[in-house]
């Protein structure tokens, strides 16, 4: 199997293209300060991950800014503070502030010359539109949790992706799903018969950070530490 064997790259956005761990940790700093906490970054992110997954399971149709606000409320209860409704809503609206990884725009611009590019994201359309301004490319299809009515790793999200890419004239065998999260993306993508490329942004770090770690590590077909590394590998094959 080679990178040249595919026609479409489907991307998770947050954690893969956008540095959501930095964005989340920065946006949670006021709540940590109000609680008088100085917990390590990965500890905070793991607490967020636990609450986010639980909230997504409870309210799969909730729009992502509302879901983030609810996660903020849950964390506030855990940390023994009541910062007020404005703080919860501000966290929910923080997605546009989350930075892109520095290598993302140039790598996407290169890959755009060789593939159809598709987004499969656990956010809403408005939040993604703001992030898209940081990414530097136009995507051929955009699939959000708002469109689908559920959050990854629900199989429905991957069925929706496969159908969306089919409308571009591309079957599932020509899709390479490219993502950081083994839990949200690789395990369910493999269950749907998709090839996957792991962008291991947490290279050599313990734990899953802002995503849960699956009980069993799923298979993947390619592994790169950055998206630039993936683009360079494709360039080297030309």
**String of b and e for 210-223 (b: at least 16 CB within 10 Å)?**
bbbebeeebebbbe
Q: State the burial class of residue 238 (Cβ atoms within 10 Å of its Cβ: 0-12, 13-18, 19+).
A: exposed
Backbone angles phi, psi at 209, to 5 degrees: 65, -125
The burial of 131, by beta-carbon neighbours within 10 Å (0-12 exposed, 13-18 middle, 19 or more buried), is given as buried
**Catalytic sites, residue numbers:** 12
How wide is the angle at C-alpha 185 spanned by C-alphas 129 and 10, nearest 5°?
Answer: 50
Q: Which secondary structure element, helix H or strand E, spans residue 195, and what is its range?
A: strand 195-199
Q: Over the Cα atoms of the chain, what is R_g?
A: 17
Residue 100: DSSP 8-state: B
Structure tokens at 43: 């500890």
Structure tokens at 54: 């639980």
- Which residue is it, tokens 């008088």? 36
**Cβ pair 159, 192 in contact under 8 A:** yes
State the Cα–Cα distance between residues 169 and 19, nearest whole angstrom: 31
Query: Whole-angstrom Cα distance, residue 214 to residue 152?
Result: 13
């Amino acid at each position: 199997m080679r990178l040249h064997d595919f026609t479409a790259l489907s991307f998770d956005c947050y954690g893969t293209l956008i540095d959501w761990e930095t964005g989340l940790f920065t946006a949670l700093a006021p709540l940590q300060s109000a609680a008088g906490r100085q917990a390590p970054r990965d500890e905070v992110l793991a607490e967020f991950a636990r609450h986010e997954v639980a909230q997504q399971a409870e309210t799969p149709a909730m729009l992502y800014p509302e879901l983030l606000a609810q996660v903020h409320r849950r964390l506030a209860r855990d940390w023994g503070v009541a910062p007020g409704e404005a703080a919860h809503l501000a966290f929910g609206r923080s997605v546009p502030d989350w930075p892109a990884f520095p290598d993302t725009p140039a790598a996407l611009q290169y890959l755009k010359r060789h593939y159809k590019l598709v987004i499969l994201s656990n956010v809403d359309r408005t939040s993604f539109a703001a992030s898209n301004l940081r990414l530097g490319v136009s995507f051929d299809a955009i699939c959000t949790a708002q469109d689908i009515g559920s959050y990854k790793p629900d199989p429905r999200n991957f069925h929706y992706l496969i159908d969306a890419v089919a409308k571009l004239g591309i079957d599932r065998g020509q899709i390479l799903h490219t993502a950081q999260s083994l839990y949200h993306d690789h395990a369910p993508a493999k269950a749907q018969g998709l090839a996957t490329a792991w962008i291991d942004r947490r290279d050599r770090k313990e734990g899953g950070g802002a995503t849960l770690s699956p009980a069993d590590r799923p298979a993947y077909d390619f592994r790169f530490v950055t998206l630039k590394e993936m683009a360079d590998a494709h360039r080297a094959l030309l």
